[in-house]
Chain A
Amino acid sequence: MYFSKAIYYDGLTSTPHPVELKYDENKNDISFVTADKIDHSWLLFSCIVEIKPHLLRISSKDNTGQQIKVEDLQFIYHFNRLFQEGKVSWYTRLLRMNFLKWILFISGFMVLIISLYMLFLPVLSDALCSVIPKDVDNEIGEKSLNSFLSDYEIDSNKTVVLNQYLREIKTPKNNKFKIIVVKSKEINAFALPNGSIVIFSEMLNKIKHSSQLNALLGHEISHVTHRHSMRSLCKNMFTYLWISLLFSDVSTVQTILAENAYTLQSLSFSREFEKEADFGSIDLLRQNGLPVEGIIELMQIISVEQKSSIPQFLSTHPMGNKRIEYNKKEIGKLKPYMIQEKKVEKLNEIWGEIQK
Chain B
Amino acid sequence: MDSNSSIKIRFSFLGTGGELFKILLLNWILTVLTLGIYYPWAKEKYLKYLYNSSQFNNDPFRFHGTGKEMFIGMIKALVLVILFYGIFYLLLINGQIIALLVFFYAGLFFIVPLAIHGSYRYRLSRSSWRNIRFRYSGNKTILMLNFLKWVILTIVTLGIYTSWFKCNLRKYLYDNIYFGNVRFRYVGNGEDLFVINFKGIVFSFLTFGIYSFWWKKDQFNFYVNNIRIEQDGKISKLQSNLDAGEVFELIVINYLMMVFTFGIAYPWVVSRSLKKLYSLMYVVGEVDFDGLAQNTENYNDALGDDVADFLDIDFFI
Show the binding face of A for B, using Cβ within 8 Å: 9, 11-16, 50, 52, 57, 65-67, 69, 91, 94-95, 102, 105-106, 109, 112-113, 245-246, 248
Q: Are B26 and A248 closer than 8 Å at their CB atoms?
A: no
Q: Are A13 and B291 closer than 8 Å at their CB atoms?
A: yes
Output the least CB separation between B10 and chain A (Å). 16
Q: Which of A67, A91, A106, A113 contacts B45 (CB 8 A)?
A: A91
**Which residues from A are CB-within-8-Å of B129?**
14
3 residue pairs, one from A and one from B, having the closest CB atoms: A65-B131, A14-B292, A14-B130
Main secondary structure of the interface of B (DSSP, over half): mixed
Q: What CA separation (Å) do A16 and B25 show in the bound complex?
A: 37
Q: Are B23 and A12 closer than 8 Å at their CB atoms?
A: no
**Which residues from A are CB-within-8-Å of B29?**
105-106, 109
Q: Are A109 and B26 closer than 8 Å at their CB atoms?
A: no
Q: What CA separation (Å) do A50 and B51 show in the bound complex?
A: 14
Q: What CA separation (Å) do A66 and B130 show in the bound complex?
A: 9
Q: What CA separation (Å) do A245 and B28 show in the bound complex?
A: 11
Q: Are B32 and A113 closer than 8 Å at their CB atoms?
A: yes
Output the least CB separation between B285 and chain A (Å). 16
Q: Are B130 and A109 closer than 8 Å at their CB atoms?
A: no
The reply to whether the CB of B127 lies closer than 8 angstroms to some CB of chain A is no
- Contacts A14-B180, A14-B291, A245-B32 known; A9 to B130 CB distance under 8 Å? yes
Q: Are A12 and B35 closer than 8 Å at their CB atoms?
A: no
- Residues of B50-67 at the interface with A, using a CB-CB cut-off of 8 Å, are 52, 59-60
- Contacts A67-B130, A67-B131 known; A248 to B36 CB distance under 8 Å? yes
- Residues of B14-45 at the interface with A, using a CB-CB cut-off of 8 Å, are 14, 22-23, 25-26, 29, 31-33, 35-36, 45
- Residues of B125-150 at the interface with A, using a CB-CB cut-off of 8 Å, are 128-132
Q: Are B14 and A52 closer than 8 Å at their CB atoms?
A: yes
Output the least CB separation between B53 and chain A (Å). 10
Output the least CB separation between B300 and chain A (Å). 15
- Contacts A69-B59, A91-B45, A248-B36 known; A11 to B22 CB distance under 8 Å? no
* Sample of 10 further A-B pairs with CB below 8 A, known A91-B45, A105-B29: A9-B130, A12-B294, A14-B129, A14-B132, A14-B180, A67-B131, A69-B59, A95-B22, A95-B26, A109-B32
Taking CB as reference atom, which chain B residue is nearest A96? Answer: B22
**Which residues from B are CB-within-8-Å of A246?**
32
Q: Are A15 and B290 closer than 8 Å at their CB atoms?
A: yes
**Which residues from A are CB-within-8-Å of B180?**
13-14
The reply to whether the CB of B97 lies closer than 8 angstroms to some CB of chain A is no
**Which residues from A are CB-within-8-Å of B25?**
106
**Which residues from A are CB-within-8-Å of B210?**
none
**Which residues from A are CB-within-8-Å of B35?**
245
- Contacts A94-B26, A109-B29 known; A13 to B128 CB distance under 8 Å? no
Q: Which residue, of A14, A67, A95, has the highest number of chain B Cβ atoms within 10 A?
A: A14
**Which residues from B are CB-within-8-Å of A13?**
132, 180, 291-294
Taking CB as reference atom, which chain B residue is nearest A10? Answer: B131
